[in-house]
């Protein structure tokens, strides 16, 4: 009996950077994990610079030169490319618009698309899903959130019986690495960032990671899948990690029995969803406090529709499922991309042409940023004089905010000198006073108003650092 021929599914690959090259490794070097009757084959690869000279020459260019092109339409329009993989990656607005065009053109050509480009989906998601609906093709984006963590597949396939209450966690490995190093070793932000760059965890320009832009794009996708929200950039309340100082870890640990973690949170009260990205104080006994380095962790809290299970609403204990894994890097991201590719190659119609979500789109609204509420940690560095704490507490009271505690450590001369040096203060180290005020639950609007009044005081030496406290109030 003659052996049946393999069914070949052709791939068009846009991008040959860190992720694109890791995809090529999986297809070319790992034997393509050939399955009975089904084989994947790369038809064409687009890269802007296929041969940049040793040692930066594209890894597979020499042995597969005929597959490479500097013209993206040769990939998108290739007759043998059944699935287009978009792994270009950029934060430049002009590039994002260009990449959106590539995706929409591929859909119009009758090809499904797998992407690792969360920035494109966050910025142009509505247009892209409308194009997918018109063409009857699918968009798969598992690799956009959590790197190698299969969170999108879990949400869309495993939690259909759940009414979601919250999804939150650590979804930017660069920020988590930096804060972990500051916490464990007392490194400055600049030192920890430099080491992250040396290890390949942070880009030469780390703005997207440390400012929270990367996490914002990921959270928009998570909130879309979980709560049916179509959010626009800027809809998430966002704070970066750039202001965090080693002294904040001293106060968090010694007084608050906490550490500081870069959280992304979307949680519902049944009618609105709060969405925020910010470094936050996380108690030492919380699961997320132990997530170190570049690791990601995503927690899902749901109410089982049939059981009506709402026995635990607390932020500190309230999750049903935890997903932990490598959150970045070419290898984990490529594995997630290829998982989507294989699903499509097998003919699975997991999502249909529309955006997948647990809640019908339009059911919930996004909470305004000014009304997002939390308990807050506020760290001050001031000129040491009588009456300052009372004056600041009065300003919070005038904004309708109740003070919870006042934390003041007995700082060593070395700690004061480090503060003095890092902030380049024009007063002597012995004349500065760091302390922390924690606040009962307040809104972002109240905090903004209170701090606007406080920062005008002549005794303020450093812009106050204010962070939500997770797991209280």
- Residue 348 scores a pLDDT above 80: no
Among the residue ranges 83-87, 193-197, 215-219, 359-363, the one predicted with the least confidence is 359-363
Measured distance CA(173)–CA(196) in Å, rounded: 10
**Average pLDDT value for the chain:** 89
Q: Are residues 363 and 383 in the same domain?
A: no
Q: What percent of the chain has pLDDT over 70?
A: 90
Give residue-wise pLDDT tens across range 196-225.
999 888 888 899 999 999 999 999 999 999
Phi, psi of 32 (to 5 degrees): 65, 10
> Which SS3 state, helix, strand or coil, does residue 314 take?
coil
DSSP-assigned states of every residue in 70-93: S-HHHHHT-TT-SEEEE------H
Going by C-beta distance under 8 Å and a sequence separation of 6 or more, which residues neighbour residue 56? none
* CA 303/CA 53 separation, integer angstroms: 56
Residues 316 and 446 reside in one and the same domain: no
Structural domains of the chain, count:
3
The answer to whether the beta carbons of residues 224 and 355 sit under 8 Å apart is yes
User: In this predicted structure, what is the pLDDT of residue 318?
Assistant: 57
Same-domain status, 262 and 321:
yes
Residues 111 and 245 in one domain: no
Say if residue 303 is in the same domain as residue 269. Answer: yes
Residue 18 lies in a domain: yes
Structural domain contains residue 123: yes
Residues 203 and 215 in one domain: yes
Q: Residues 120, 166: one domain?
A: no
CB atoms within 10 A of CB 3: 5
Same domain, 374 and 427: yes
Q: How far is CA 395 from CA 370, 392, 401, 439, in A?
A: 18, 5, 9, 12
What is the CATH classification number for the domain harbouring 67? 3.40.50.720
> Does one domain contain both 217 and 262?
yes
Q: Is residue 101 part of a domain?
A: yes
pLDDT at 43: 96
Percent of the chain with pLDDT over 90: 71
From 87, 111, 140, give the residue that closes a domain.
140
165 shares a domain with 119: no
Diameter of the chain by CA atoms?
A: 95
- The domain that contains 416 carries what CATH number? 3.30.70.260
Active site residues per annotation = 218
Q: Is the distance from CB of 469 to CB of 375 less than 8 angstroms?
A: yes
Residue 132 shares a structural domain with residue 55: yes
Tell me the sheet residues that pair with 298.
169, 323
pLDDT at 335 over 80: yes
Residue 102 shares a structural domain with residue 166: no
Asked whether residue 333 is assigned to any structural domain, the reply reads no
Residue 110 lies in a domain: yes
Structural domain span for residue 190: 158-326+358-367
């Amino acid at each position: 009996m003659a052996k049946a021929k393999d069914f070949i599914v052709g791939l068009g690959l846009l991008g040959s950077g860190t992720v694109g090259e890791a995809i090529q490794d999986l297809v070319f070097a790992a034997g393509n994990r050939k399955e009975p009757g089904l084989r994947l084959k790369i038809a064409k690869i687009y890269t802007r610079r296929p041969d940049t000279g040793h040692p930066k020459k594209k890894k597979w260019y020499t042995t597969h030169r005929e597959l490479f092109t500097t013209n993206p339409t040769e990939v998108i329009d290739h007759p043998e490319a059944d699935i287009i993989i978009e792994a270009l990656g950029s934060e430049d607005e002009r590039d994002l618009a260009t990449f959106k065009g590539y995706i929409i053109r591929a859909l119009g050509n009758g090809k499904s698309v797998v992407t690792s480009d969360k920035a494109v989906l966050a910025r142009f998601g509505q247009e892209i899903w409308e194009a997918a609906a018109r063409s009857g093709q699918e968009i798969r984006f598992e690799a956009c959130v959590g790197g190698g963590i299969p969170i999108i597949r879990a949400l869309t396939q495993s939690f259909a019986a759940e009414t979601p209450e919250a999804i939150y966690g650590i979804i930017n490995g660069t920020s988590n690495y930096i804060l972990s190093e500051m916490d464990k070793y007392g490194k400055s932000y600049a030192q920890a960032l430099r080491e992250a760059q040396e290890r390949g965890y942070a880009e030469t320009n780390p703005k997207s990671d440390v400012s929270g832009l990367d996490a914002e794009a990921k959270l928009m996708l998570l909130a879309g899948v979980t709560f049916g929200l179509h959010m626009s950039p800027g809809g998430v309340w966002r704070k970066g990690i750039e202001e965090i100082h080693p002294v904040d870890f001293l106060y968090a640990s010694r007084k608050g029995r906490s550490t500081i973690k870069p959280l992304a949170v979307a949680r519902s009260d049944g009618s609105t969803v709060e969405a925020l990205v910010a470094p936050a104080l996380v108690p030492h006994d919380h699961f997320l406090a132990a997530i170190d380095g570049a690791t990601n962790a995503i927690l899902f809290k749901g109410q089982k529709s049939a059981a009506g299970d709402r026995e635990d609403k607390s932020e500190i204990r309230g999750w049903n499922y935890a997903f932990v894994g490598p959150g970045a890097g070419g290898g984990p991201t490529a594995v997630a991309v290829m998982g989507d590719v294989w699903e499509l190659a097998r003919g699975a119609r997991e999502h249909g042409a529309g955006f997948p979500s647990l809640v019908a789109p339009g059911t919930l609204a996004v909470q305004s940023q000014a009304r997002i509420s939390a308990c807050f940690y506020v760290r001050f560095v001031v000129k040491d004089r009588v009456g300052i704490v009372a004056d600041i507490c009065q300003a919070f009271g005038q904004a309708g905010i109740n003070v919870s505690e006042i934390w003041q450590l007995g700082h060593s001369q070395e700690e004061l000198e480090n503060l003095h040096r890092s902030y380049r203060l024009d007063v002597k180290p012995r004349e500065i006073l760091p302390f922390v005020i924690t606040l009962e639950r307040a809104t972002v609007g109240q905090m903004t108003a209170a701090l606007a009044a406080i920062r005008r005081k002549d005794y303020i030496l450093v812009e106050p650092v204010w962070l939500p406290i997770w797991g209280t109030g």
